[in-house]
Amino acid sequence: MSDPLTPYGNKPMVTPIVNAVNYEYRDFEVLRRITDGEIDGYTYHRDDNPTVRAVEDKIAELERSEDCIVCTSGMAACTLVYLSYLKAGDNLILFHDIYGAHYKVSLILERLGVEVTWLNADESAELERYVKPNTAMIFLESPSNPLCKVIDIPEARRAADKSGARLIVDNTFATPYHQNPLELGAHLVVHSATKALGGHNDLMAGAIAGSKEDYNTLWFTRQAVGCTLDAYSASLLERGLKTFELRAERMASNGMAVAEFLKTKSSISELFYPGLSDHPGHAVAKRQMRGGFGGMLSFNVGQTQEDAKKFISSLKVIKHAVSLGATESLICIPYLTTMLYLPPERRLSFGVCDNTVRLSMGVEKPEALIGDLEQALKFL
């Protein structure tokens, strides 16, 4: 049986898109050997797909992990982790400073008997205090969404070890270009591959990197619930990865240039970027990250939400849109977008204001971005 990724006896420069839902078996012995795991092979798309498997190998290499599993979205990846490793009676520690959709998933987990503890990332230095005998998982982002707070990952692992909990790190903001959480003590790394890994606003995917044993556990859950990524999206994701390092480098340099510019502006009351020396988490970020500090920053502009809206509406180069990590620079007001999943009172409980804006740097020339920001600030 020929390898579907090398159909002509040599290797194509682009991984073939295998759209097949099912596969014909040459004979029953081949079926047995595939289902028993003796040979590599495919039976049904919900189980696996060669195009998907190819991109999993590439993300595993970026995250320096034994293996990786991809699925239909970043939140699907997070939910696979929760469903694979949590049970009724377990305690899950989450930080307010993570993507807002986790709040909705936490409500589902609570209905299933999981106890959820919410902390502010500012409390991470005392994380061990909150670990209980039944704490089974700690889930964090560093830098966090949207305020770019930095959590010491090795310290979080020490806290997790107190109860034998799994430490899960969302690396979407940092990306594997700047940070490899597995080398810092995380058990698993998750990504919204929709963002910087894909990078072009044209696909939705999630990824989880970890050990081969974790791959097998997560594969079981993915196969059971049916959230395997489609082959076309996997191909787009693989294409995005070909320019990932170039894009990540440019986004980080743009991030630093823009942060240095914004810190001189009186209409910016607070600025959150871990690359700045006065950022509270700068020292930890400098220790954990490499090659820069990423392309994400947030800041409070003007005095009111109307000021923030006026500022965003005046931008010409930077696009008003949700998501992040794209070739285009994107800006939004988290209170009105990414945090809509949270009750209004919770959106403001950990440092986000209704005039906080989140800026995701693209790959434009820095002078174009700075010029756009400067002209928009004049309207305040």
Catalytic residues: 46, 99, 170, 195
Pairing between β-strand 91-95 and β-strand 135-141 as defined by DSSP bridges? parallel
Distance of CA 209 to the CA centre of its chain: 11
* Closest residue by Cα to residue 138 from 103, 71, 105, 153: 153
Q: 367: buried, middle or exposed (CB in 10 Å: 19+, 13-18, 0-12)?
A: exposed
Cβ contact 300:178 at 8 Å: no
Cα(132)–Cα(109) distance, integer angstroms: 18
Residue with tokens 């963002």: 195
Amino acid in position 78: C
What's the residue count for the chain?
380
Q: Are 98 and 337 in contact (CB under 8 A)?
A: no
Nearest to 178 by CA among 62, 283, 327: 62
Q: Which residues contact 118 (CB under 8 A, 6 or more apart)?
A: 94, 95, 96, 106
What does the buried/exposed string (b/e) look like for 199-237 if buried means 16 or more CB atoms within 10 Å of the residue's CB?
beeebbbbbbbbeeebbebbbebbeeeebbbbbebbbbb
d(CA 357, CA 312): 9
How far apart are alpha carbons 91 and 114 in whole angstroms?
6
Please give the backbone phi and psi of residue 134, each rounded to the nearest 5 degrees, phi first.
-95, 10
